[in-house]
């Protein structure tokens, strides 16, 4: 048997990964049977040998089973148990004795044995019944109003969060941004989580703590209760035996008492009393879950590094019991769930947290579901929902379940018998109505009462309301939301007498039984506390209570106020400006790190309005004329927004402060800014506000260009979420990084996402950012069709994600620009896998300057030949493809859909042209545009291309084959010995000029690439043509098949003979040429006689500055042998064109006639050259014609002229 057990243990521990083996070693150390030094760095063989040395065979198996199950390696444990030949039952008495010494509480070895203990089954049954009774009723407001949790529960939006993110902004503002950011509910960290799944999601983590964050009233406690209710009814988490609910607000009552964990559990769960030691051992060996609700309400000092408790019977402070459970020194296998408001969540060190979740409130659908459950009248519920949607302030806060209840309470009352259009929608008015309703419990219809009756009602409850208001303010300053009897006594509230006499307290102020007959108190929601705190401060202002107002005022300002009171004849008539208080309150809220005065500020400003003061008449002794103060305060808030870079949350809150003052001027300015598109940079604060307005209005923009609104990184980040509501987003050159891509990815996943074009060029988003974008592109809601990632510091590693996105059935992408990234051949190979997919929709792919070689062309060729390929445009310019790469590529060109191919500056020679020519002649070729500019093709290569163009199968319409012009602008020297043999002149053969330093394929404007023209054109920019080529050009112009309308001969050495030859072609009746350009062309001028010219319009363009320096030319004339030819002449002295009608003149002398047939000879000013267009053209530029009577002019360089 010894050898058998040894082998079993060897095999079992050998299956453990290194990290789990380390955990096994740590648990074994806790038993203290084997010295820690012996186990240090021991492998699985040494561990088994030590166990066999210090334990007998049965004990070795027992301890192994115990540790494996504690590590949740249940499959390994079952295999070991099944293979063990002897009966592996546990001697619990022996174990319990061992526990007293070692404090190591073994987990159940076999669940079947535990279930056989009838007393434990009975205890579990009783415990579940008791827990169900605790959580099955939910209280909304009055404690006499109970509702079944199952009937009113509405599913909350819960997502995975990050413990490292500590939210310090005001919680009310968190809910909208958090929900809208994660609205997509994608399968990343923002996937919606069910409350019953929190422990299952954390089961594979070494850290056992689940931490749930959420703002006050968002549903954390309700989620906990729903978890317990479903567990108690056997609907979920049946693997958990005991669940213990321990609210911090109740544990605060025993913070100064020494108590053991067992005693603590017995106080909260009386059914656990009178248990024997062996029974306690049984319970501790079960699966236990501890839920600590409301860490933000804790008043316990939490120290995780000292004073640890290791036994359930050891007495200590409550805070040490909690920290010992969290760090694992006490009941290391227990499950722990902690809930907290965001600002307090960081009290637990991140190293103990395995899963962080965040309750985000109601989604739109869930919110509507809540109102329809609560309001049985369907018509009234619909009217209520419609009203809420019209008020952004109410609409935001209704993501919070408790605020939904407050809103439903108020609107049920004021919507009855009242025109919806007359209902006020500010937050302050809503809470004033809520307060009035609670004081009018009998009729529940305060609107039916007269102002006098309402005043009487407020006056009768004034004493208690003001006490509660004082309590609210004092505890708000301390950031406390839970109070105790001593806190109430400090504000003059009699816990026993006041609660007996005032029924309204159960609606807005709650009391809850704690331990030892102690009670805890809180307002029904944090916002109610902030509203009453604002009431208290405004009343202190009216009563000149300077002691209370010192919290807001600087010491100097307080002394000024005191002097005013002392020297005033009557304190009631003391001139203390209200705007002093309000502006100082604004500054206090802006400076608050946690933002817990933001909502208070909105209420204070709202109460300052005279209309709201009248509603509260009865509480206030008199009203204050606040019109001038409101104007001053509004100006102060606007200045802060325009001049200071306050946080986004503060910007939004100040915006709502203005709305609370019923000042919508800033809102209108924001909308006007969008409409006029002034392009004036905004401050970061205004960017935040602009983003908020756009998101809340849900207006869809045609285009969002971040650089149009701001130049700062902070401003760009504030505006980035707006990508959710635009069709085209230009985010280039905004210093964005990979983390920003998550926001964009979520926008792509939004339901009804409008985003179809996205430009993120020139940002350092790197491969990690592209992976996030691809997660968004995989969403069924993604509508993206055009994506530009030019110059984004990408490598081949991102191509796998892009390829996967292209193959997704949800992919709609038709254009992708990856230029200026280090993709290399390996990246292209990955992308081509996506191009071959039947679901890929891509039509245009740009990969200029991507460090590619000819090796990638084989993958590209294969992708092009794929039957699934839809690619019609490919740009691989500025890559070292060489002739070998182009030859491979041409194999694909012979059988594909490609229409546009750019091979500019790819280190090509004439050798590749044979393959290109063959591809052009293929019957399956669809190529219409080809750019081989800035390559050394030479005459031989061009001739080969022309052979391909002669084929009837050739569809080529544009050919670009330019070279670089000299840096000094001078004409090129030398030239081709022959010119292109132009054929198929219905097509357009194009050459695009590239100047030194100019961009290549990745930098060129789309207008260079697709010059959408309805007419054919030939552009021969700087390709070293000489006059020898003009015989071919003349032949082209005279051809009966010629449809050529434009000819550009700029930057070529044409010479006189070339121009003369050209004119022979222009005389032909077949010539259709309408536009001729010749920038920087030069020659000795001759008087040109053009005969048989059809009726045309001539234009003489502006002169080049360099031309003005030429001398010796006096007169320019044109021989006209056909009538009705018009000349348009324009120079610097004549800003407007002068139309001259030229009539037929029989003589040989050059003459120009006006409309009245009077001869007119234009004498040019001295030292000036005039460009004159010849009669056969609509437009002509760059040529100077010198008549026979002029002084000869030598050859010189001419700069380009403007057309």
Residue ranges covered by each domain of the chain: 2-88, 119-135+155-361, 460-663, 889-1073, 1083-1203
| Beta bridge partners of residue 703, listed in sequence order | 728
Q: Which of 489, 513, 494, 504 is nearest to 457 (CA)?
A: 504
**With helix as H, strand as E and coil as C, how does 160-197 read?**
ECCCCCCCCCCHHHHHHHHHHHCCCCCCCCCCCCCHHH
Burial class (CB in 10 A: 0-12, 13-18, 19+), 143: middle
Contacts of 1054 (CB under 8 A, 6+ apart): 1025, 1026, 1027, 1030, 1062, 1078, 1081, 1083
Name 1087's Cβ contacts closer than 8 Å, sequence gap at least 6. Answer: 1117, 1119, 1150, 1185, 1186, 1187, 1188
- Among residues 294, 365, 719, 354, the alpha carbon closest in space to that of 512 is found at 294
Alpha helices in 705-818, H assignment, sequence order: 706-709, 713-719, 740-749, 766-777, 799-807
Tell me, rounded to whole angstroms, the distance of Cα 789 from its chain centroid: 16
Ranking 96-105, 113-122, 573-582, 670-679 by mean pLDDT, the lowest is 96-105
* Lowest pLDDT segment from 182-191, 217-226, 777-786, 892-901: 182-191
From 751, 790, 771, select the one nearest 1000 (Cα to Cα): 790
Tell whether the torsion through CA atoms of 927, 930, 932 and 938 is positive or negative: positive
Instruction: Look at residue 884 in the predicted model and tell me its pLDDT.
Output: 94
Rounded mean pLDDT, 916-920: 92
Whether residue 925 is predicted with pLDDT greater than 70 in this model: the reply is: yes
| Other beta carbons less than 10 A from residue 957's beta carbon | 20
Architecture of domain 119-135+155-361: 3-Layer(aba) Sandwich (3.40)
How far is the C-alpha of 185 from the C-alpha of 191, rounded, in Å? 5
pLDDT band at residue 155, thresholds of 50, 70 and 90? confident
Residue 1057, H or E segment: helix 1055-1066
Return d(Cα 358, Cα 189) in angstroms, integer. 11
**652 versus 636: which is more confidently predicted?**
636
Q: How far apart are CA 128 and CA 137, in angstroms?
A: 15
pLDDT grade, residue 904 (50/70/90)?
very high
Tell me: pLDDT of 48 over 60: yes
Q: How confident is the model at residue 192 (pLDDT cuts 50, 70, 90)?
A: confident
Q: Is the pLDDT of residue 989 over 50?
A: no
Contact call for residues 741 and 712 (beta carbons, < 8 A): no
The 3-class secondary structure across 1171-1200, one letter per residue, is CCCCCCCCEEECCCCCCCCCCCCCCCCCCC
Contacts of 969 (CB under 8 A, 6+ apart): 1080, 1197, 1199, 1200
pLDDT of residue 1174: 33
Which contiguous run of DSSP H or E holds residue 588?
helix 578-591
- Rounded CA-CA distance 1062/1031 in Å is 7
Side-chain half-sphere of 1190: how many Cα atoms within 13 Å? 27
CA angle 656, 658, 664 (to 5 degrees): 105
∠ CA 71-72-74 to the nearest 5 degrees?
125
Residue 236 near residue 199 (C-beta atoms within 8 A): no
**Residue 1031 pLDDT:** 61
State residue 108's pLDDT score: 37
212-245: string of b/e by CB count within 10 Å (b at 16+)? bbbbbbbbbbbbbbbbbbbbbeeebbeeebbbbb
By CB atoms closer than 10 A (0-12, 13-18, 19+), residue 547 is exposed
Cα-Cα end-to-end distance for the chain: 102
pLDDT in tens, 336-366: 999 998 878 888 888 888 888 888 888 777 8
Q: Tell me the H-state helices in 677-724.
A: 684-697, 706-709, 713-719
Helix (H) / strand (E) containing 565 = helix 555-567
Overall average pLDDT of the 185-209 stretch: 69
pLDDT at 244: 95
pLDDT of residue 850: 96
Architecture of domain 2-88: Orthogonal Bundle (1.10)
Q: Is 70 exceeded by the pLDDT of residue 1064? A: yes
More confident residue, 186 or 212: 212
Q: What is the pLDDT of residue 394?
A: 76
- 816 pLDDT more than 60: yes
Q: What DSSP element (H or E) covers 519? A: strand 519-523
Sign of CA dihedral 104, 108, 110, 114: positive
Phi, psi values for residue 1048, rounded to 5°: -125, 115
User: Can you read off the two tokens belonging to residue 891?
Assistant: 């194999």
How are beta strands 158-160 and 353-359 bridged, if at all? antiparallel
pLDDT at 913: 92
Q: Is the pLDDT of residue 61 over 90?
A: no
Instruction: Look at residue 687 in the predicted model and tell me its pLDDT.
Output: 83
Fold of 889-1073: 3.80.10
Q: Which residues pair with 1176 in a beta bridge?
A: none
Would the pLDDT of 159 be above 60?
yes
Query: Residue 132 burial by CB count (10 A; 0-12/13-18/19+): exposed, middle or buried?
Result: middle
Q: How far is CA 871 from CA 832, 880, 1010, in A?
A: 11, 22, 16
User: Across residues 1151-1160, what is the average pLDDT?
Assistant: 36
Q: Between 1022 and 321, where is the model more confident?
A: 321
User: Do the Cβ atoms of 584 and 557 come closer than 8 Å?
Assistant: yes
Give the per-residue pLDDT at 514.
55
For residue 1105, pLDDT over 50 is answered with no
Q: Which one of 222-226, 566-570, 1071-1075 scores highest in mean pLDDT? A: 222-226
Confidence class for position 855, pLDDT limits 50, 70, 90: very high
Side-chain-side CA neighbours of residue 523 (13 Å): 24
Residue 217 has pLDDT above 90, yes or no: no
CA distance 435 to 429: 10
CA separation for the pair 318, 785 (Å, rounded): 59
Asked if 173 contacts 598 with a C-beta cutoff of 8 angstroms, the reply is yes
The DSSP output letter for 510 is E
Q: Write out the two tokens for 772.
A: 């996030």
pLDDT reading at 872 higher than 80: yes
pLDDT above 90: percentage of residues in the chain: 21
Q: Is the pLDDT of residue 775 over 80?
A: yes
Residue 1056 has pLDDT above 70, yes or no: no
Residue with tokens 């010219």: 1093
Q: Find where tokens 């602008």 sit.
A: 969
Examine the pLDDT at 1129 and tell me if it is beyond 70. Answer: no
The residue assigned the tokens 């010295």 is: 35
Average pLDDT, the chain: 72
Q: Which two tokens stand for residue 1117?
A: 């004339």
Helix or strand run (H / E) with residue 601 = helix 598-608
CA distance 293 to 301: 16
pLDDT at 723: 92
Name every residue whose Cβ is closer than 8 Å to that of residue 920 and which is 6 or more positions away in sequence. 927, 945, 948, 949, 951, 953, 954, 956
């Amino acid at each position: 048997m010894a050898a058998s057990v040894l082998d079993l243990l060897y095999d079992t521990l050998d299956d453990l990964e290194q990290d789990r083996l380390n955990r096994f070693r740590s648990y074994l150390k806790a038993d203290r049977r084997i010295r820690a030094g012996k186990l240090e760095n021991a492998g699985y063989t040494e561990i088994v040998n030590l166990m066999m040395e210090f334990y007998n065979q049965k004990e070795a198996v027992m301890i192994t089973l115990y540790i494996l199950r504690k590590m949740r390696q249940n499959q390994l444990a079952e295999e070991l148990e099944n293979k063990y030949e002897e009966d592996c039952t546990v001697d619990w008495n022996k174990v319990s004795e061992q526990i007293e010494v070692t404090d190591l509480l073994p987990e159940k070895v076999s669940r079947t044995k535990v279930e056989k203990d009838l007393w434990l089954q009975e205890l579990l049954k009783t415990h579940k019944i008791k827990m169900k009774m605790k959580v099955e009723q939910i209280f909304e407001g009055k404690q006499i109003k109970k509702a079944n949790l199952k009937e009113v529960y509405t599913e909350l939006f819960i997502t995975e969060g990050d413990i490292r993110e500590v939210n310090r902004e005001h919680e009310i503002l968190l809910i909208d941004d958090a929900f809208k950011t994660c609205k997509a509910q994608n399968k990343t960290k923002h996937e919606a989580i069910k409350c019953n799944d929190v422990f299952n999601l954390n089961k594979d983590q070494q850290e056992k703590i689940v931490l749930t964050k959420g703002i006050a009233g968002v549903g954390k406690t309700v989620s906990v209760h729903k978890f317990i209710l479903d567990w108690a009814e056997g609907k979920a988490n049946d693997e958990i035996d005991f669940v213990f609910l321990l609210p911090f607000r109740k544990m605060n009552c025993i913070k100064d008492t020494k108590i053991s964990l067992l005693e603590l559990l017995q106080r909260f769960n009386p059914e656990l009393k009178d248990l024997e030691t062996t029974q306690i051992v049984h319970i501790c060996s079960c699966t236990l879950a501890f839920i600590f609700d409301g860490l933000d309400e804790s008043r316990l000092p939490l120290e995780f590094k000292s004073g640890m408790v290791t036994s359930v019977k050891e007495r200590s402070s409550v805070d040490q019991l909690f920290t010992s459970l969290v760090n694992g020194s006490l009941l290391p296998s227990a499950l722990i769930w902690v809930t907290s408001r965001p600002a307090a969540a960081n009290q637990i060190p991140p190293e103990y947290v395995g899963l962080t979740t965040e309750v985000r409130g109601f989604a739109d659908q869930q919110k509507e579901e809540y109102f329809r459950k609560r309001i049985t009248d369907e018509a009234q519920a619909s009217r209520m929902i419609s009203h809420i949607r019209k008020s952004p302030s109410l609409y935001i806060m209704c993501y919070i379940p408790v605020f939904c209840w407050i809103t439903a309470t108020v609107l049920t009352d004021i919507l009855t018998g009242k025109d919806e259009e007359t209902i006020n929608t500010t937050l302050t008015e809503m809470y004033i109505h809520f307060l009035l309703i609670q004081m009018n419990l009998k009729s529940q219809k305060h609107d039916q009462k007269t102002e006098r009756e309402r005043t009487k009602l407020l006056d009768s409850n004034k004493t208690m309301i003001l006490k509660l208001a004082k309590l609210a303010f004092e505890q708000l300053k301390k950031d406390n939301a839970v109070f105790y009897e001593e806190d109430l006594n400090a504000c003059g509230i009699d816990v026993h007498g006041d609660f007996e006499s005032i029924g309204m307290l159960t609606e807005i102020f709650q009391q809850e039984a704690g331990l030892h007959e102690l009670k805890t108190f809180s307002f029904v929601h944090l916002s109610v506390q902030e509203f009453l705190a604002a009431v208290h401060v405004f009343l202190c202002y009216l009563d000149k209570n300077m002691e209370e107002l010192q919290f807001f005022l600087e010491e100097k300002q307080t002394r000024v106020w005191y002097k005013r009171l002392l020297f005033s004849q009557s304190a009631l008539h003391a001139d203390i400006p209200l705007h002093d208080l309000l502006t100082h309150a604004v500054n206090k809220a802006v400076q608050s790190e946690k933002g817990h005065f933001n909502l208070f500020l909105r209420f204070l400003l709202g109460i300052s309005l005279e209309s709201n003061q009248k509603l509260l008449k009865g509480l206030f002794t008199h009203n204050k004329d606040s019109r001038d103060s409101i104007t001053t305060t509004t100006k102060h808030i606007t200045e802060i927004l325009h001049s200071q870079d306050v946080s986004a949350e503060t910007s939004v809150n100040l915006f709502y402060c203005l709305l609370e003052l019923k000042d919508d001027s800033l809102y209108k300015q924001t909308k006007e800014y969008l409409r006029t598109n002034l392009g004036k940079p905004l401050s970061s604060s205004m960017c935040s506000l602009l983003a908020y307005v756009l998101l809340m209005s849900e207006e869809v923009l045609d285009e969002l260009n971040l650089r149009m609104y701001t130049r700062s990184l902070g401003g760009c980040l504030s505006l980035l979420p707006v990508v959710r509501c635009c069709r085209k987003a230009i985010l280039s050159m905004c210093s964005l990084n990979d983390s920003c891509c998550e926001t964009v990815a979520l926008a792509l996943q939004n339901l009804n996402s409008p985003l179809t074009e996205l430009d993120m060029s020139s940002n350092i988003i790197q491969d990690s950012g592209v992976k996030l974008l691809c997660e968004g592109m995989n969403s069924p809601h993604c509508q993206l069709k055009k994506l530009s990632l030019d110059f984004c510091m990408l490598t081949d590693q991102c191509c796998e994600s892009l390829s996967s996105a292209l193959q997704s059935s949800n992919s709609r992408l038709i254009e992708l620009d990856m230029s200026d990234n280090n993709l290399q051949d390996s990246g292209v190979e990955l992308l081509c896998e996506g191009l071959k997919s039947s679901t890929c929709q891509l039509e245009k792919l740009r990969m200029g300057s991507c460090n590619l070689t000819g090796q990638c062309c084989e993958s590209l060729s294969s992708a092009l030949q794929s039957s699934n390929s839809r690619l019609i445009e490919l740009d691989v310019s500025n890559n070292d493809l060489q002739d070998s790469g182009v030859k491979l590529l041409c194999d694909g060109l012979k059988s594909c859909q490609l229409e546009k191919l750019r091979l500019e500056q790819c280190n090509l020679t004439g050798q590749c042209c044979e393959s290109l020519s063959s591809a052009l002649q293929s019957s399956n070729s669809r190529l219409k545009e080809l750019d081989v500019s800035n390559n050394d093709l030479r005459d031989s290569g061009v001739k080969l291309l022309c052979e391909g163009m002669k084929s009837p199968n050739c569809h080529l319409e544009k050919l670009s084959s330019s070279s670089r012009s000299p840096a000094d602008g001078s004409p090129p020297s030398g030239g081709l010995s022959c010119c292109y043999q132009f054929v198929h002149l219905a097509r357009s053969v194009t050459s695009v000029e590239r100047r030194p330093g100019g961009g290549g394929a990745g930098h060129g404007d789309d207008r260079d690439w697709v010059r959408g023209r309805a007419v054919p054109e030939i552009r021969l920019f700087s390709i070293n043509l000489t006059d020898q080529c003009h015989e071919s050009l003349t032949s082209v112009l005279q051809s009966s098949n010629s449809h050529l309308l434009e000819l550009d001969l700029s930057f070529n050495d044409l010479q006189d003979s070339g121009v003369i030859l050209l004119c022979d072609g222009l005389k032909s009746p077949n010539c259709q040429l309408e536009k001729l350009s010749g920038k920087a062309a030069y020659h000795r001028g001759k008087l040109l006689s053009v005969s048989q010219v059809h009726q045309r319009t001539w234009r003489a363009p502006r002169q080049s500055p360099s031309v003005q320096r030429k001398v010796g030319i006096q007169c320019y004339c044109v021989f006209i042998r056909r009538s009705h030819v018009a000349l348009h002449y324009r120079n610097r002295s004549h800003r407007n064109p002068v139309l001259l009608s030229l009539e037929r003149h029989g003589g040989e002398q050059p003459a120009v006639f006006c409309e009245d047939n009077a001869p007119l000879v234009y004498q040019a000013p001295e030292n000036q050259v005039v460009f004159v267009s010849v009669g056969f053209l609509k437009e002509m530029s760059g040529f100077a014609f010198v008549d026979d009577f002029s002084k000869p002019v030598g050859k010189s360089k001419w700069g380009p002229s403007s057309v």
